[in-house]
Amino acid sequence: MNIVLHIERLILDGIPLEAGSAARLQGAVESELGRLLAAGGLSAQLQNGGALPSVQAVSIQLATQADPQQLGGQIAQAVYRGVGK
């Protein structure tokens, strides 16, 4: 199965990122979400193609010093809950 995922905008309210951390965060989200989709697949609603105007993700509990890699993994898991099996 070939999955093409396009996230036009990811809104992160109240997350303090250090300068230069955005690219690391983006890479972590893409990597973990790709891994989750490859391992678990898509929801039945999206298996034959389709688009969602938005995905409502659950809240994420942040550590005091949020590492972009760890945060990206948490974000990917929250997004996957909205599109995965």
DSSP designation for 11: -
Is residue 6 a part of any domain in this protein?
no
Is residue 74 a part of any domain in this protein?
yes
Is residue 77 a part of any domain in this protein?
yes
DSSP letters, 12-59, are -TT----TTHHHHHHHHHHHHHHHHHHHH-B-TTTTT----S---PPP
Is residue 85 a part of any domain in this protein?
yes
**Domain range for 74:** 19-36+65-85
Is residue 29 a part of any domain in this protein?
yes
**Per-residue model confidence as pLDDT tens for the chain (85 residues):** 677 777 888 777 777 778 788 888 888 998 999 899 989 888 878 888 877 888 877 778 776 677 889 989 998 998 898 888 7
Q: Virtual CA dihedral for 38, 8, 46, 72, nearest 10 degrees?
A: 40
Domain count of the chain? Answer: 1
